[in-house]
A and B are shown apart, each in its own frame.
Chain A
Amino acid sequence: MSKEIRERNHINVFGKGSKTIVMAHGFGCEQGMWQYMAPAFEEEYQLVLFDYVGSGRSDLSAYDPDKYSQLHGYAEDVIDVIEALDLKDVIFVGHSVSSMIGMLASLKRPELFDALVMIGPSPCYLNKEDGYKGGFEESDIRDLLDMMEMNFTGWASYMAPMAMEQPKETKEVQDLEQTFVSNAPRIARQFAEVTFLSDYRETLHEAKVKTLILQCAHDSIVPVEVGEYLHQAMENSELHVLDAKGHYPHISQPEQTAAIIKDYLARS
């Protein structure tokens, strides 16, 4: 089991320290995104990096459209990874949609988590009729899916006659081209739908694990109010707004981001 999961999620373990940090990438990415920030933790922590099934170098043949039609399916991946390494009380650092995935995993198995660090989280990306501003209209999401379709090889060229056979993405196909999601357009599309159409606001009050919410002041995807919303809804949370642009502070300002996380971990 444990070896299967290690391969399935392409788990990497390194660093020295008795405490473990699990870092989980977001939509459209893979574990390589942590390369700029990870060095700051290597000396003091054991680090666990992995790819969700369907992303990066994970085993694409393990992708089950039913399982991964909800963030809960990805939360299973997180639990699997932690269990495969026989860990508990980990610090979970999740970027973007992974923040919610980590929270869902912590609701299911609280004993596995000591703390959550959410980078650019959002419980709901859509603007809702109740006045909640997630930042996007449904038409934006449809546009996005369209853009993805046109950007990733395999969509436009994925002519109908071939679609009939629905070949399963194999390991070989996967090894051909190691870029972001582009080799598995159907998986990427479903991940996009699951991510951008998700709404987990109702579950936030159940979260008990202490949580650091890291929000860029000028986040391009998640409005800054969403950070405040999360902080209000999660009782054991702390909000830190970074004076940064974009959605990837761990890439654009890795030292600063790492320092904030370290400070939080030292204090709590």
Chain B
Amino acid sequence: MEERLRLAPGGLIALDHEGYIVDVNDTFLNELGYEKDSLVGNHLEYLCGTSGKIMFHSYFYPTINLYGHVKEFLVKFSHSDGHDVPFLLNGRRYQSEDLFRIDIVTLPMTRRLEYEQELRQAKDTLQQLLDEQEAVLTELQKINDEIQTKQLRLTEINNNLILASNLDTLTGISNRKHMQETLVRLVYNFWKTGEIFSLLILDIDYFKRVNDTYGHPVGDQVLVKLAAILKKQAQHEYTAARYGGEEFIILLPGASEDLAVQFAEQLRVAVQETNWDEVSGLTISIGLSTSGEGDDQLSILKEADDALYASKHNGRNQVTHFNTLAERT
């Protein structure tokens, strides 16, 4: 090897086909503290630790044979005094008719590696922090999920409570409070949009007699049974409610006087034709009113009540609409 190559600012190694060292320059020898004679003829792995040996055989050697070159291969070589020195290797396969060599250029990279170690350490620290953050986030997410589940449950309970507070405990249909709230909405809507509605109030004929004759438990049964009929007739569009005692109200949104009378008549007949053997028959009297100019929730209730009074007065088991009262008197 000529002098300039021997003193080149980088190590030079030439290997034969199997990886034995054929030639090496002074720069490389000085960096590792060896004499030329002690390296030439040895396999390169003589300089590698165990892991370096595997890296050489599982990466460097096959790569250079398949692709003809290896770039920036990091490996640690043992100094003659025993400590490891990291080197960066570039290798190239040289092939002529009668010669096969693997030429390697080496640069020591102790300081570079220290930088890299610092980077890797920083990376590991970051990764650890991220993992911790991730764990906290997962925990938070879990807590959040639990809160959401509980909130859903609470909402459900709340909705049930609202529903329960709207219902009459005996009959299970709407109670007076709910009826009044609905009535206020209907009145307000009538004022705002002019959409009419009707109010039906009914009373069981001679209910006092039922209680007196058959006892309160049977009276209650009658109320429950009647409520079921009202609910069935009202279907979903109308609201049937127990107003108090044996008085019931049905709110009929969108129903005109004629429609309300028709509905009430059907209801009266339905009640009359129901089997009431337990109390030897039952009828109801009905009073109706329909929203008109100047009406509010009080006036409309009063009108229906007046009509009911007329039904009772005129012999019970009949339907009266408030609007027909004036005509009669």
Contacts and interface: CB of A to CB of B under 8 A. Distances in A.
Q: Do A and B come from one complex?
A: yes
Contacts of A141: 51
B51 A144 contact: yes
Interface in A169-186: 179-180
Size class of the B contact interface (CB-based, 8 Å): 35 or more
A246 B19 contact: yes
B51 A160 contact: no
Given A160-B127, A221-B57, A251-B62, A179 B67 contact: yes
B158 interface: no
A3 to B, nearest CB: 27
Nearest to A33: B62
B19, B43, B57, B59: most-surrounded residue (chain A CB, <10 A): B59
Contacts of A36: 65
Nearest to A28: B58
Contact of B54 (A29, A144, A150, A244): A144
Contacts of B76: 147
Contacts of A35: 66
A140 interface: yes
B309 interface: no
A159 interface: yes
Contacts, number: 99
B123 to A, nearest CB: 5
Contacts of B67: 179
Contact of B55 (A144, A161, A164): A144
Contacts of B66: 32-33, 35
A147 B18 CA distance: 22
A111 interface: no
Contact of A163 (B51, B52, B127): B127
Contact of A143 (B18, B50, B126): B50
A148 B63 contact: no
A149, A158, A196, A221: most-surrounded residue (chain B CB, <10 A): A221
A248 interface: yes
A144 B53 CA distance: 9
A26 B59 CA distance: 11
Interface string A129-152: 000000011001101101111110
A150 B51 contact: no
Nearest to B128: A160
Contacts of A251: 61-62, 65
A246 B49 contact: no
A150 B57 contact: no
B116 interface: yes
Nearest to A181: B59
Contacts of B74: 147, 150-151
Given A180-B63, A245-B18, A160 B57 contact: no
The 7 tightest CB contacts between A and B, nearest first, are A143-B51, A160-B126, A28-B58, A144-B51, A140-B50, A160-B127, A247-B57
Given A140-B54, A160-B123, A247-B58, 17 more contacts: A28-B58, A29-B58, A32-B66, A33-B66, A143-B51, A144-B55, A151-B55, A159-B126, A163-B130, A179-B67, A180-B63, A220-B43, A220-B45, A221-B57, A245-B43, A248-B57, A248-B65
